[in-house]
A and B are shown apart, each in its own frame.
Chain A
Amino acid sequence: MIMKTAFALVAALTMASVAMAVEVGKPAPDFTGTDINGKTIRLSDYKGKIVVIESYNSDCPYCHNHYATGAAQELQKDLAAKGVVWLMVNSVNPKNMSHRTPEQARAEWTSQKIAATAWIDDSSGTLGHLYGMKTTPDMYVIDKNGILVYHGAIDNQPDPFHNPRTADNYVRDAVDDLMTGKQIAVAETKPYGCSVKYAD
């Protein structure tokens, strides 16, 4: 009986998450999270600003490539200068060797010279599942009205060894298109990278 109830519950939750899966052109679902400094981050607080969401795990060679080359930090700085908010989401479960405690995350923030707005600790995977994040990196761009305008790969080079600066960066393109009031040229791509290390 208990099993059955639990099963029904899991099924209902799964359905719910499927139903709520994000879709380009629709409002991005609101969420509340806690960053590595203990600060509460709410998506709706950034209404009126362009928001970039990044699924992040620096042990993944694809993410690592973007940060080790400094290209990701450069992009974060460029976009910050344009008033864009950049939220990193780390959904690695606590049992995985790539998990970061807030203390470790703060150390990584400093050593990697990360220039994002915030790093949300999502070790429960709630936010990752809500947004259907499958890979690291998996990128989302939300416009000033809270509409998801881009979802997918960070760039057109699905390779852990490429030079990110010479690749076509879809996030930069989408933000540029938004700023210049153009139609988003590439609104959706297939994200590449490592799988997000959710709990089983």
Chain B
Amino acid sequence: MRTFLKLLPVVLLVLAGNAAHAAHTQVQLLLSANTVRPGDTIWAGLDMKMDPDWHTYWKNPGAAGMATKIQWQLPPGVTVGDIQWPLPEKLPPAEITTYGYNNEVMLLVPLKIAADLKPGMVLDLKANVSWLECKEACIPGKTTVAAQLNTGRDTEVSADAATINLWKSKTPQPGVQLASHAWWEKPASGDKRPLIIEWSVPDKAAEADFFPYAANNFDVQPATENLANRTGGFSLRKTVQKFSGDWPEEISGIVVMEINGQRQGFDVKVSVGDQVPTGEITSVPTSGAGVSTAPTGGVPVLPVQPLWRMLLYAFIGGLILNIMPCVLPVIALKILGFINHAQHEPGRVRVLGLIYAAGVLVSFLVLAGVVIGVKAAGHHAGWGMQFGSPVFVVCLTTLITLVALNLFGVFEVTLGGRTLSAAGQLASKQGAPGAFFNGLLATALATPCTAPFLAPALGFAFAQNSSIIVLIFLSVGLGLAAPYVVLSWNPAWLKFLPKPGAWMEKFKIAMGFPMLLTAVWLFNLAADDYGTNVLWLGVFLVLLAFATWIFGEFVQRGRTGKGIAVVIVLILLIGGYAFALENQLHWREPVAMADSTAASPANPGGIDWQSWSPEAVAKAQSEGHPVLVDFTANWCLTCQVNKKVAIEVPSVRKKLREINAVTLVGDYTHFPENITTELNRYSRAGVPLVLVYPKDVGAQPIVLPELLTPGIVLDALDRAAR
């Protein structure tokens, strides 16, 4: 009797197979359009929601289980393509590994509507769905789902299009560019034979795996062994079990990698060689969507660049950082130092050049460490991210103000307990600590200047394992330090620099002004975090300036009353800090300010920016608008420049109006998670990122380069409107 009770649910289920949903899975048929123009292809999404801990299976269920089946009942003129399966998970136990889905999955099917259908029809779409759902036990499920689709003059996208798009982005993308290849490692032992699959992404760290498609006479077993790669790609050892016939000459499936913390699948068909390949073997692309006109899903192809090229980019990017406006003042100071020493101490110049380089490299190592730490902590790291931290901005503003005051000669910096001479400035007196400090400062200032070369290299770096991140950062550092190391190593070249003299003092003071400008820019950044309260940061900076003047005038250069002066300086500093920063500004915990960069109507004649979200993009596309998306941040100089010279210009404004485009802005100032994810999809470590989406539903965007001209933007908009 007890047995019968246990069997009862199964029996009932088999009998009541046509229920709207089985015990543990709810199935629903969604369409990407309400109305379709004959000749178009739309997507059907079979949404399966499983109860907690229950799962259903992928097209290859693995060692057990059953792939979900869809049998369509369609009116004439409607044809379906193959099911597009989102990337599944490997499900335990390891000894009986299966491939499937927990919680929810949407199976996607392209529906082609024949061109000869008349507008104004109502098409009844029906599908019999059967699946196996398992937790402790397995239960077969069966249901019939239905949906209606109208034909019309134009395709009108449905409310479910965004959800369907989201699932489509989880289906594997074509893996042709991976150049995957495979070979038998050894002769067979019994019915099993080890197989090596290799592909060339310059990335070894992230979880790599291969999920095979089902085959009749053999089975690629689920266990995966990651091997040390030979060529900067991945190498996996899999075991193939043969049931009958010959050993397969071709293996197809999905290459799975974790890229930027996201699992991504790549569809590959690999021919299997008999030995380790010597030359380059390219994989054959497998057919993508079953219907050729179907819009392709998936995220854009990630750039596959060899490591050396990335390191070269990083090096060149570092070189370019030298002439960025935010770094140039430090560099000028550096030149002063060279001139001072080149006269009589060429050997010392070399040493200082190397120490400067060490300062740069150490700070880049620290940055690399931060990135690795943040990555490990599960956050998305981004270049320039430290500028999103108000505490960092306040500290740096204070530091830069002090450097400016120092250049103006208000006070001197004493290092190593020595009081330096009047000419011996922090930077120009080039003691070893001074050179080192210059290195640190150059790095701190260089970070917001994401140079065009640097961005792809960093985008690449952020997706890598720790050792490659360190390599990339060191390359940038080497690039930044290189000119000085070279100059200091060959004093002959220093002769091209002007002779030292009284002009140096004036030049030094003049360099104080770009430094002050940098401080003003940083102050402006702080305003985003503190709002009008930023006044108290200004008050603190003035008190600080006053204190440094007293310090310089009466402590360093004065003869009497030094004790009183020191007390006054301390009172000013401590009092200014406690009152202005702590009490008024609450500088360590700023009150979150309202998002200031959302739609700003106060922009007469300008572009009508709306706030970015994936839904906003889908909605605009569904209404037939091309979309321009600008991912930007207040601390990103390149972004501001792009906007000024290439986006908010009359020609682009006019074009946007002409093609009826929707303009969206994503504010990355405070690193919202959803934008980080979006940046990572395009292998970018930071902003700027400007995308132009064509008006067709689900179409992938045109990715614009980092530095924009109106021509580039106009061209992209033209293509998007076509």
**Chain A interface residues toward B at CB < 8 A:** 23-24, 26, 58-61, 64, 68, 96-98, 100, 104, 107-108, 111, 129, 134-135, 152, 158-161, 186-190, 192-198, 200
Indicate whether B3 reaches chain A with its CB closer than 8 angstroms. yes
Of all chain B residues, which has the CB nearest A190?
B219
Question: Is B132 a contact of A61 with CB atoms below 8 Å?
Answer: yes
Question: Is B136 a contact of A197 with CB atoms below 8 Å?
Answer: yes
Q: What are some 10 contacts across the A-B interface (CB < 8 A)? A: A96-B136, A97-B136, A98-B6, A100-B3, A104-B2, A108-B3, A158-B66, A160-B66, A190-B219, A195-B63
Indicate whether B96 reaches chain A with its CB closer than 8 angstroms. yes
What are the interface flags for B61-72 relative to A under an 8 Å C-beta threshold, 1 for contact and 0 otherwise? 001111000000
Distance of B376 from chain A, by nearest CB (Å): 26
- The list of the 7 closest CB pairs from A to B, nearest first, reads A195-B64, A195-B96, A194-B138, A188-B243, A160-B140, A61-B140, A135-B64
User: Complex: how many Å from CA A198 to CA B136?
Assistant: 10
CB-CB under 8 A for A189 and B243, given A59-B137, A195-B96: yes
User: Complex: how many Å from CA A159 to CA B136?
Assistant: 19
Indicate whether B438 reaches chain A with its CB closer than 8 angstroms. no
Question: Is A195 a contact of B93 with CB atoms below 8 Å?
Answer: yes
Please tell me the number of chain B residues within 8 Å of chain A, measured between CB atoms.
32
User: Complex: how many Å from CA A64 to CA B137?
Assistant: 12
Question: Is B139 a contact of A61 with CB atoms below 8 Å?
Answer: yes
Question: Is B191 a contact of A58 with CB atoms below 8 Å?
Answer: no
Distance of B200 from chain A, by nearest CB (Å): 31
User: Complex: how many Å from CA A60 to CA B277?
Assistant: 45
Question: Is A97 a contact of B137 with CB atoms below 8 Å?
Answer: yes
User: Which residues of B have CB within 8 Å of A200?
Assistant: 93
Question: Is A188 a contact of B66 with CB atoms below 8 Å?
Answer: no
Indicate whether B377 reaches chain A with its CB closer than 8 angstroms. no
Of all chain B residues, which has the CB nearest A138?
B64
How many residue pairs bridge A and B at CB < 8 Å?
Answer: 92
Indicate whether B187 reaches chain A with its CB closer than 8 angstroms. no
**Chain B interface residues toward A at CB < 8 A:** 1-4, 6-7, 10-11, 14, 63-66, 93, 95-96, 98, 130, 132, 134, 136-140, 142, 190-191, 219, 242-244
CB-CB under 8 A for A107 and B3, given A188-B244, A190-B243, A192-B64: yes
User: Which residues of B have CB within 8 Å of A198?
Assistant: 93, 95-96
Count chain B CB atoms within 10 A of each CB in A24, A64, A104, A190 and give the residue with the most: A190
User: Complex: how many Å from CA A92 to CA B444?
Assistant: 62
- Starting from the known contacts A64-B10, A134-B63, A160-B140, 4 additional A-B residue pairs (CB-CB under 8 Å) come to A68-B14, A111-B4, A134-B95, A194-B132
User: Complex: how many Å from CA A100 to CA B4?
Assistant: 12
User: Which residues of B have CB within 8 Å of A192?
Assistant: 64, 66
Q: Secondary structure of the A side of the interface?
A: loop
User: Complex: how many Å from CA A100 to CA B219?
Assistant: 32
Question: Is B6 a contact of A159 with CB atoms below 8 Å?
Answer: no
Distance of A118 from chain B, by nearest CB (Å): 18
Distance of B115 from chain A, by nearest CB (Å): 37
Question: Is B3 a contact of A60 with CB atoms below 8 Å?
Answer: no
Distance of A91 from chain B, by nearest CB (Å): 11
User: Which residues of B have CB within 8 Å of A26?
Assistant: 190
Question: Is B3 a contact of A98 with CB atoms below 8 Å?
Answer: no
CB-CB under 8 A for A104 and B93, given A23-B190, A61-B138, A195-B63: no
Distance of A136 from chain B, by nearest CB (Å): 8
CB-CB under 8 A for A195 and B66, given A61-B139, A189-B244: no
User: Complex: how many Å from CA A108 to CA B1?
Assistant: 9
User: Which residues of A have CB within 8 Å of B3?
Assistant: 100, 104, 107-108, 111
User: Complex: how many Å from CA A89 to CA B1?
Assistant: 22
Question: Is B137 a contact of A134 with CB atoms below 8 Å?
Answer: no
User: Which residues of A have CB within 8 Å of B95?
Assistant: 129, 134, 198
Count chain B CB atoms within 10 A of each CB in A107, A189, A194, A198 and give the residue with the most: A194
User: Which residues of B have CB within 8 Å of A152?
Assistant: 243
Question: Is A193 a contact of B64 with CB atoms below 8 Å?
Answer: yes
Distance of A86 from chain B, by nearest CB (Å): 21
Question: Is A59 a contact of B64 with CB atoms below 8 Å?
Answer: no
Of all chain B residues, which has the CB nearest A161?
B140
Question: Is A61 a contact of B243 with CB atoms below 8 Å?
Answer: no
User: Which residues of B have CB within 8 Å of A24?
Assistant: 191
CB-CB under 8 A for A194 and B93, given A59-B6, A104-B2, A161-B140: no
User: Which residues of A have CB within 8 Å of B93?
Assistant: 195, 198, 200
User: Which residues of A have CB within 8 Å of B137?
Assistant: 59-60, 96-98, 194, 197
User: Complex: how many Å from CA A111 to CA B4?
Assistant: 9
User: Complex: how many Å from CA A172 to CA B3?
Assistant: 29
The answer, among A60, A111, A134, A187, for a CB contact under 8 Å with B244, is A187
User: Which residues of A have CB within 8 Å of B130?
Assistant: 161
Question: Is A186 a contact of B6 with CB atoms below 8 Å?
Answer: no
Question: Is B132 a contact of A196 with CB atoms below 8 Å?
Answer: no
User: Complex: how many Å from CA A59 to CA B7?
Assistant: 6
User: Which residues of B have CB within 8 Å of A104?
Assistant: 2-3
User: Which residues of A have CB within 8 Å of B14?
Assistant: 61, 64, 68, 161
User: Which residues of A have CB within 8 Å of B219?
Assistant: 190
User: Complex: how many Å from CA A188 to CA B191?
Assistant: 9
Question: Is B140 a contact of A195 with CB atoms below 8 Å?
Answer: no
User: Which residues of B have CB within 8 Å of A134?
Assistant: 63-64, 95-96
User: Which residues of A have CB within 8 Å of B66?
Assistant: 158-160, 192
Of all chain A residues, which has the CB nearest B218?
A190
User: Which residues of B have CB within 8 Å of A129?
Assistant: 95
User: Complex: how many Å from CA A111 to CA B7?
Assistant: 12
Of all chain B residues, which has the CB nearest A187?
B244
User: Complex: how many Å from CA A157 to CA B191?
Assistant: 23
User: Complex: how many Å from CA A189 to CA B96?
Assistant: 16
Question: Is B98 a contact of A195 with CB atoms below 8 Å?
Answer: yes
Of all chain A residues, which has the CB nearest B64?
A195
User: Which residues of A have CB within 8 Å of B96?
Assistant: 134-135, 195-196, 198
Question: Is A59 a contact of B244 with CB atoms below 8 Å?
Answer: no
User: Which residues of B have CB within 8 Å of A195?
Assistant: 63-65, 93, 96, 98, 134, 138
User: Complex: how many Å from CA A107 to CA B63?
Assistant: 30
User: Which residues of B have CB within 8 Å of A107?
Assistant: 1-3
Distance of B601 from chain A, by nearest CB (Å): 60
The answer, among A59, A108, A135, A160, for a CB contact under 8 Å with B63, is A135
User: Which residues of A have CB within 8 Å of B98?
Assistant: 195
